[in-house]
Amino acid sequence: MAEPGWFPDPGGEPGRLRYWNGASWSYTTVPEADFRPPAAPRPTPQQVPAARRAVPPPTERRRVVALVLAIIGSLLLAFGLLKLSEVPPPITASTATPTSRSTAGDEECGKETRDTDGLHWAGLVVDISSSFTLRGTAQLNGSHCLVLLTSPYDPPYEGYSWAGCSPRRR
């Protein structure tokens, strides 16, 4: 039989349409004048699928490069952690309270000074007076002196400096 749709009423009512669903007639009729066949559907523009980017799946080469980078990163991290965990060489320290002139460290510490706190404490290592307390000296690798000088003046100040080795000052 015919496709589903509205057809003249087979029951004989003139001017009436009845719907055929493909298997049987409906019980409802409509006047033929009220019936307008549905408009033809508008054609929808066909969407052209967007071109896919040509992204190849991971290749064996990419996997190898990623593995090599991971190994290098792990080694750098391991060496960095080992370097941080190294124990510095022991520093031999002595405590002294000098008199009017300190001779402790004259040979190790001389004219060449490096001032770490901007107050030129390292210059006082050789010509230290009794108004300063020399808390400690340390010889690092036989070439440098590290001192902590404490001032009794108001306000008290502590400073750290070191002096490089040079011939004894006269």
Asked if pLDDT for residue 39 goes beyond 60, the answer is yes
Q: List the chain domain ranges.
A: 1-36, 92-164
pLDDT surpassing 70 at residue 37: no
Two tokens, residue 157: 């100040």
* Tokens at 7, concatenated: 């057809």
Mean pLDDT calculated for residue range 70-75: 96
Res. 71: pLDDT tops 80: yes
pLDDT above 70 for 78: yes
Q: Which pLDDT does position 68 carry in this prediction?
A: 96
Question: If DSSP codes are grouped into helix, strand and coil, which group holds residue 168?
Answer: coil
Q: Cα–Cα distances in Å, from 98 out to 49, 119, 152?
A: 90, 20, 14
CA pair distance 45, 68, nearest whole angstrom: 50
The answer, yes or no, to whether residue 95 has pLDDT greater than 90, is: no
Q: If you average pLDDT over residues 54-70, what whole number do you get?
A: 83
Give 100-143 pLDDT, tens digit per residue: 344 444 444 444 455 555 555 554 544 444 445 555 554 444 54
